[in-house]
Structure 1
C-alpha cells in the first residue's frame, strides 16, 4: 500500500488496489478492482464460452453436449475460479485490451489444434500418441518453459523470486498431489474396506461410552425395582397378619372354646388358606397350598427374576461391531459394502493452464499476452467439457468411452 495513502483513500471496494507501484502490483499478492473484475469475469465466464460454443457448433469441433443445467454449473464454477485468479493473479492491474485480444487468440487457436485429426488425444493416453501429436505437444511444452523462464526473470527483477517459486510449487501441488492421494485411497480401499478409520474410531468411542452407560443405568433400574418389590412384600405381610388377627377375633366372639380349635378356611389367593389358633398364643396360623406364593392377595413373587450383570468385554465388542456395520451413510445401504471405487488420474489441460494464469502477473506486454493465451486455453477446457475432476472413477471413464 502507498505510504502516503490514508484510510479515506481506500474504500470498501478498492481497498486492495494499489494505484502507484514500481511493478504495477506484481509484488503484491492480493489486489482487486471492481470494474476490471466485472469485465474480466464477463469475458472468462460468459463471452468466451459462448463464442467457443458457437464456433464449435459451426465447425463441429469436439465437445460434450450440455444442457441448461450444465451451463449453469459451468457459470457458477467459473465465477469462483475467476474471482480467485483475478484477486491473486494481479489482473486488477494487468487486465486490459492486450489480455483480452490474446485471450480469444488462445481460445480459437487451441480449438483449431484440437480440430486436427491427430490431436484428438488426452494426457492420460500419452503412450498411444502419434508422432505428430508428440511433436505438437512437445513444441507447446517448449513454449511454456520459455515463457516460464521470462517470468522467473521478471520476478527476480521485482524482488519477489523468494515468493514466486515457492508459491508456484504450492499452486502446482493440485496437479501432482493427486498421485499420492490416489495411492493412499487404493491402499485404504484394499486394507480397510469398511471405510476411513477416523470416523469409525470416533463412532466406536461413542458406542463404548453408550454401552457402558446403558449397562449401569439398567442395573440401577433393576436394583430400584427389587427394592420396591421387597417393600411391597413387607407391607403385604404386615397387612396379612393384621387382617388374619382381626378375622380370628371376630370368629372367636361368636363361637365357644371348642369351636376355636377348629380350623377356619378362607378363600385367599389361588387356593384355600386355613387359619388355626395355637393353644398357647393368639397368633394366627396360615395354612394352604399356595401359602408360600401368596398371602392375602399379596402380589406373586417372580420365581426367575432376570438380573442385569456387567457385560463382558466380548459382549460389548459384539454390540459395537454390530452397530458399526450400520452407520448412517446416506449413500450406502445398511449391511452392504461401502461405495468404494478405484480411480484413474485424468489431468486436463484447463487445470494446467489455470495454474499458470496465477503467475503471469507482470505489466510487460509479453506477460499480458501470455496471460490471455493461458486463460483462453482454460476457457476451452471448461467450455467444451466442463470443470471435470482430476481423479475419475474407472467405471465412469468406461461409460464415457462406450458413449
Structure 2
C-alpha cells in the first residue's frame, strides 16, 4: 500500500471538502433553520470565516488522521446520520445544557453523558485493538505512536488549566517573582541603609492582574474533533466511527462556530 498522501490524497481531499463542508454546511443550516433548531446567528462574514475554519481544521484531521486512506461511503453516510442525529438529541429539553453547568444537570442528562462516555471508552478500546492488529510484525512503533498520541489532548487540557490560573491568579508570575526576590533581597538590603527602599522595590515588583478573567469551556466540537484523529483504520467499524465523530464535530462548527476552549470575560 502506498502511504503517500499525494497525489491521491489531494483527490480524496477534494471529495472530503465537498461532502463534509460545501454540502453539509448550507444543508444543515437550512434544515436546522426550517425546524427551529438552535443556531448561532451569523453574518455573511461570519459564515465565510467559519467555512474557512472548517477547511483548515478539516485539512489537518484529513492528513494527520489518515483519511486519505480510510475515507469511504461508510464515513460519509455515518457523518450525515451523526450530524442530524446529534442535532435531534441536542434539542431534547433535558439535553440543552453545557459542560460548565454540570452541577445543575438533571438525571436524564447524566444518563446521556455517562452513556456517551461508556460508548467512547468502548470504541477507544476497540481502536487500540485495531492498532495492535494492524501493526507490522516485529515492529510496534506505530502502536506506541498511536498510544502516545492519546496524551496530546491531556497535555493541551493541562496547558489550558495552567494558562487560566496564570491569567486569573498570576500563579506562574508570582512563583517566578518569589524566586527572584529570594535572589535579590540580600543585594537590596546591602544597597539600602534601611528597609524602606527595599520594601518599596518589593511592592513594585508585585504582578498586576490582567484586565480580563478566563474560564475553561470545553465544546463538543473540540471533543469529537480530537477523537477524529484516532479513527484512522481502513476497517468498516473505524470508518463508521470516523464519520460519527466528524459529524458531531461538524455540528458544533456549523451550528455555532469554532468557539474557543479558553473564554475571556
Q: TM-score range, shorter-chain basis?
A: 0.7 to 0.9
Corresponding position of 1:330 = none
Kindly report structure 1 stretches of 4+ aligned residues shifted beyond 6 Å.
189-192
- What's the secondary structure of 1:392's corresponding residue? strand
For 1:191 and 1:338, how far apart are their aligned partners in 2? 10
Does 2:258 align with 1:390? no
Answer whether contact 2:166 2:173 (CA < 8 A) is retained: no
Instruction: Map residues 258-277 of structure 1 onto 2, 5 A cutoff.
Output: none
CA spacing shift, 1:134–1:368, aligned 2, 3 Å: same
Could you report, residue by residue, the CA deviation over 1:300-350 in whole angstroms, capped at 9, with x for unpaired residues? Answer: xxxxxxxxxxxxxxxxxxxxxxxxxxxxxxxxxxxxx88621111010000
CA spacing shift, 1:176–1:102, aligned 2, 3 Å: farther
Larger Rg belongs to: 1
CA spacing shift, 1:48–1:175, aligned 2, 3 Å: farther
For 2:101 and 2:247, how far apart are their aligned partners in 1? 23
Question: How many correspondences in the alignment?
Answer: 229
Corresponding position of 1:161 = 143
Corresponding position of 2:186 = none
Does 2:27 align with 1:54? no
Corresponding position of 1:282 = none
- What's the secondary structure of 2:249's corresponding residue? helix
- What's the secondary structure of 1:33's corresponding residue? helix
Structure with the larger RCO, 1 or 2 (CA within 8 Å, 6+ apart): 2
Corresponding position of 1:132 = 108
- For the aligned residue pairs, the C-alpha RMSD in angstroms reads 2.4
Corresponding position of 2:82 = 106
For 1:344 and 1:112, how far apart are their aligned partners in 2? 28
For 1:128 and 1:367, how far apart are their aligned partners in 2? 35
**Greater helix proportion:** 2
Answer whether contact 1:189 1:340 (CA < 8 A) is retained: no
Does 2:155 align with 1:179? no
TM-score, normalised by the number of residues in structure 2: 0.80
TM-score, normalised by the number of residues in structure 1: 0.53
Find 1:376's aligned residue among 231, 239, 247: 247
- What's the secondary structure of 1:16's corresponding residue? coil
* Offset of residue 54 of structure 1: 1.3
